[in-house]
């Protein structure tokens, strides 16, 4: 919380009998400064007044005040320049303008320019002055709260849009094949990063699964992740052979990325119609882990380069036997790069699988995904630095 917000909270939430408002009076005329002090004393105002004579001094002291009383006729300002400079102070205090009789019209201009109120010297009493200060503090606090709420709503809306793009509703109709997914942004950031997944079935009964990760955390990376995810779904639905899809994704990435350094890792899994085997391609991405019938990482010896690193797709297909009843967990490397204590080595599946064994299968899929990231972060000694996306696939009887 900033100094100004702290001052405003003290002035609005404390016991009224104990409130002390730190007021900054910006006035170069000794007589006018004395008059303001007398008016505040007359009203027994609970204030602590600090007086400065120039805008430069006011700019330095604004952030620590609950309210600024500003005279427009200062030696280092002209017109409304003093007001504009004070309003430009980050986390600055609300401003009430003091004007002379001949400058009353300028006071109205000041309010239009961002001042909370204006008072005419010689036409205001102590009660009016205290009321103006109180209202300025309350309006500033209300404006700050409204702005924070609006920013929160905008972030929530943006997150919802990104979730729809990065984490869509899978497109398959096999009721025996279940999936559960979780996503957590790196360092608990407000928006999603570049991790994405999708599931699509084709007429032959194959269920195609994609889990990917665009390097980086910002909205540009998220937008690129959405583009890759939608492109992949389109390729699958259009009947493009599995061996060609990642090559097309590479072309999309290269054409859409903002910088040549941007790349994406991808795990593509195609589960056979009988659900007892799968074909897998890894482009710079860690392999999934088999949770049942045994607990082990799937073969990761054949990992091609990430998309965007080379000019062509060099991934190789790996055949994986799954069995008649199985559970497979796909994870982006944000989970596996969690460390065993600050400065420790990355956990990898070797460090994560023991945590899974403590959670699975007793707690069920939701408990596993809800708790696994927390356990890895506990071992990491704090939030994971990269985004984490988890996709759990289950086949067979409950």
Q: List, as one string, the DSSP characters of 56-69.
A: HHHHHHGGG-SEEE
Asked if pLDDT for residue 90 goes beyond 80, the answer is no
Q: Would you give the DSSP letter of residue 347?
A: -
* CB distance 159 to 184 below 8 Å: no
Q: Is pLDDT above 50 for 146?
A: yes
Mean pLDDT of 269-290: 95
- pLDDT category of residue 217 using cuts at 50, 70 and 90: confident
Measured CA distances, 25 to 62, 74, 147, 226, 350 (Å): 10, 12, 27, 53, 65
Residue 161: pLDDT band by 50, 70, 90 thresholds? low
Count Cβ atoms below 10 Å from residue 330 Cβ, excluding itself: 23
Whether residue 102 is predicted with pLDDT greater than 80 in this model: the reply is no
Give residue 157's pLDDT band: very low, low, confident or very high (50, 70, 90): low
The Cα 245–Cα 242 span in angstroms is 5
Q: Specify the higher pLDDT residue, 197 or 14.
A: 197
Would you say 199 and 212 are in contact if contact means Cβ atoms under 8 Å apart?
no
Helix-helix angle 242-256:219-237, to 10 degrees: 150
- Of 6 and 88, more confident: 88
Task: Tell me what pLDDT residue 101 has.
Answer: 61
Residue 368 has pLDDT above 80, yes or no: yes
pLDDT value, residue 376: 92
397 falls in which pLDDT band (50, 70, 90)? low
What pLDDT score does 262 carry?
A: 92
The pLDDT tens digits for 313-342 are: 888 999 999 999 999 999 998 899 988 887
What pLDDT score does 14 carry? 43
pLDDT of 279 higher than 80: yes
| Omega before residue 304 within 30° of 0, cis | no
- Residue 349 pLDDT grade (very low, low, confident, very high; cuts 50, 70, 90): very high
Q: Which of 10-24, 114-128, 160-174, 310-324 has the lowest mean pLDDT?
A: 10-24
Q: Is the pLDDT of residue 297 over 90?
A: yes
pLDDT the model gives residue 233:
94
- Compare 152 and 200 and report the one with higher pLDDT: 200
Digit-coded pLDDT (tens) for 13-32: 444 446 788 888 999 888 88
**Range from 20-34, 78-92, 206-220, 247-261 carrying the lowest mean pLDDT:** 78-92
pLDDT at 154 over 70: no
Higher pLDDT, 341 or 367: 367
- Rounded Cα–Cα distance for residues 216 and 213 (Å): 9
Position 104 scores a pLDDT of 65
C-alpha 397/C-alpha 69 separation (Å) is: 73
Please tell me the predicted confidence (pLDDT) of residue 12.
Answer: 43
Q: Find the length of the chain.
A: 398
Predicted local confidence at residue 240, as pLDDT: 95
Average pLDDT over residues 163-190: 76
Whole-structure pTM value: 0.64
Query: Does position 163 have pLDDT exceeding 50, yes or no?
Result: yes
Under DSSP, is residue 25 helix (H, G, I), strand (E, B) or coil?
strand
Angle (CA) 332 183 308, round 5°: 40
In this prediction, residue 9 carries a pLDDT of: 43
Please report, for the chain, how many H helices and E strands are present, in that order: 11, 15
Query: What would the mean pLDDT of 25-40 be, rounded to a whole number?
Result: 88
Query: Above 80 in pLDDT, residue 215?
Result: yes
Averaged confidence pLDDT in the chain? 84
CB 128 within 8 A of CB 119: yes
Helix 126-166 vs helix 3-13: crossing angle, to nearest 10: 120
């Amino acid at each position: 919380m900033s100094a100004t917000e702290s001052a405003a909270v003290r002035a609005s939430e404390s016991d009224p009998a104990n409130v002390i408002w730190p007021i900054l009076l910006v006035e170069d005329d000794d007589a006018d400064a004395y008059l303001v002090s007398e008016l505040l004393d007359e009203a027994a105002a609970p204030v602590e007044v600090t007086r400065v004579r120039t805008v430069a001094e006011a700019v330095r002291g604004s952030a620590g005040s609950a309210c600024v009383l500003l005279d427009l006729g200062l030696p280092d300002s002209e017109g409304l320049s003093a007001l504009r400079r004070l309003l430009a102070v980050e986390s600055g205090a609300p401003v009430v303008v003091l004007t002379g009789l001949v400058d009353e019209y300028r006071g109205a201009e000041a309010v239009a320019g961002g001042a909370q109120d204006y008072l005419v010297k010689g036409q205001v009493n102590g009660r009016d002055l205290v009321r103006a200060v109180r209202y300025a503090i309350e309006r500033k606090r209300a404006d700050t709260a409204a702005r924070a709420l609006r920013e929160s709503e905008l972030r929530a809306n943006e997150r919802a849009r990104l979730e729809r793009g990065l984490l869509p509703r899978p497109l398959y109709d096999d009721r025996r094949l279940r999936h559960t997914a979780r996503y957590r942004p790196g360092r608990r950031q407000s928006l999603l990063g570049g991790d994405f997944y999708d599931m699509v079935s084709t007429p032959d009964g194959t269920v195609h699964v994609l889990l990917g990760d665009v390097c980086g955390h910002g909205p540009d990376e998220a937008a690129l992740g959405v583009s890759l995810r939608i492109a992949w779904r389109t390729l699958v639905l259009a009947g493009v052979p599995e061996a060609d899809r990642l090559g097309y994704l590479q072309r999309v990435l290269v054409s859409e990325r903002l910088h040549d350094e941007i790349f994406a890792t991808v795990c593509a899994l195609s589960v056979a119609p009988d659900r007892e085997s799968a074909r897998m391609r890894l482009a710079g991405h860690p392999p999934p882990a088999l949770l049942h019938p045994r607990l082990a990482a799937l073969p990761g010896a054949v990992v091609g380069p990430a998309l965007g690193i080379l000019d062509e797709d060099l991934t190789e297909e790996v055949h994986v036997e799954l069995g008649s009843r199985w559970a497979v967990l796909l994870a982006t490397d944000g989970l596996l790069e969690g460390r065993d204590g600050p400065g420790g080595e990355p956990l990898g599946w070797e460090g994560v699988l023991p945590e899974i064994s403590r959670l699975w299968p007793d707690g069920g899929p939701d408990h596993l995904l809800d708790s696994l990231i927390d356990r890895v972060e506990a071992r990491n000694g704090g939030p994971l630095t990269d985004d984490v996306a988890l996709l759990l696939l289950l086949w067979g009887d409950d």
